[in-house]
Amino acid sequence: MKEEEKCARKFLMERLGKEPTYEPCGQYTPPDFAVGRTAFEVRRLNQRFFGRDGSIEGLEQVEHQLLRAMTKVLSRIPFTDEGGTFFWMINFKRPLAAEARTIAKQLGQAGQDYYEGGSRKSKAIEKLGVTLTLIPATTPRATAFFRVLVSDDDSPGFVSDLYPKHIRLALEEKIEKTRTIVKKFDHWVLILVDYILWGAVPADDMGPFDFDLAHFNSLVIINPVDGSLGREYPDGSLRTCGPTP
């Protein structure tokens, strides 16, 4: 079970008070979960890279080496009560100008210098074509740096543009994936686990939601740590989906 599926399972168990059936139609076949006649399809909500030729590429194809290196470096920086926690995100351009570990080493040192300097303001640090952005967290998380976002080589833009764009991509992908099996269930719910800016952005700041859900009756965005509900579209739609109270 993927991490986002574990998170969705926790959300469903707490909301419904019962264990949802995992992969009710078989392995690798949608939906991911079902409770009675309601199907729940799950997807990680993240940002994706758009190639100049119009292709859409998952960030994972390029980001893993850089993320591993950055996480390793930043996790070594000790947390202090005075410094608090900073959310961190990176923006990079393809191809990388140097090896991931070289970039991470330079950015990590600059990030540590900034953290130990005591400032609690947002900061963007650029090294070798990769930008590390630090945003102070309101509530400390017992770690100096906590990752929230990786961005492609387009400008990160405003959050109000970021969320609708990538929600729509995830929705379109899941509509197509479930099209041939939709009649097996009475209700369909798409659960998106927010790996974009969870914890740093209030739900009301995710921008205007105006999506064609097709055969999905409800779309929900949940927190990847505790499985709590972040936003529901349309408002109150979960209550109409069979087993939900």
215: nearest Cα among 242, 243, 185 = 185
Confidence label for 165 from pLDDT (cuts 50, 70 and 90): confident
pLDDT digits (tens, 9 = 90+) for 173-199: 999 999 999 999 999 999 999 887 666
Tokens in use for 35? 């409770």
- Taking the C-alpha atoms of residue 32 and residue 43, their distance in angstroms, rounded to an integer, is 9
Confidence label for 87 from pLDDT (cuts 50, 70 and 90): very high
Distances (CA, A) of 244 to 11, 20, 39, 68, 178: 11, 12, 12, 38, 21
- Taking the C-alpha atoms of residue 235 and residue 179, their distance in angstroms, rounded to an integer, is 24
Q: Is the pLDDT of residue 148 over 90?
A: no
Q: Residue range 5-13: average pLDDT?
A: 94
Please tell me whether the overall predicted TM-score, pTM, comes out greater than 0.85 for this model.
no
Q: Is 209 exposed, middle or buried (0-12, 13-18, 19+ CB in 10 A)?
A: middle
- Taking the C-alpha atoms of residue 13 and residue 141, their distance in angstroms, rounded to an integer, is 25
Do the beta carbons of residue 38 and residue 189 sit within 8 Å? yes
pLDDT digits (tens, 9 = 90+) for 195-232: 876 665 666 777 778 899 999 999 999 988 788 898 99
Domain with CATH 3.40.1350 in the chain: 3-48+159-240
Per CATH, the number for 3-48+159-240 is 3.40.1350
Residue scoring higher pLDDT (147 or 192): 192
- Taking the C-alpha atoms of residue 114 and residue 10, their distance in angstroms, rounded to an integer, is 37
* Helix/strand/coil (H/E/C) assignment for every residue in 212-240: CCCCCCEEEEECCCCCCEEEEECCCHHHH
Residue scoring higher pLDDT (54 or 138): 138
The whole-number pLDDT of residue 157 equals 47
The whole-number pLDDT of residue 156 equals 44
Strand order in the sheet with 86-91: 123-127, 130-136, 86-91, 145-151
Q: Is the pLDDT of residue 154 over 60?
A: no
How distant is the alpha carbon of residue 26 from its chain centre? 26
- Taking the C-alpha atoms of residue 145 and residue 17, their distance in angstroms, rounded to an integer, is 35
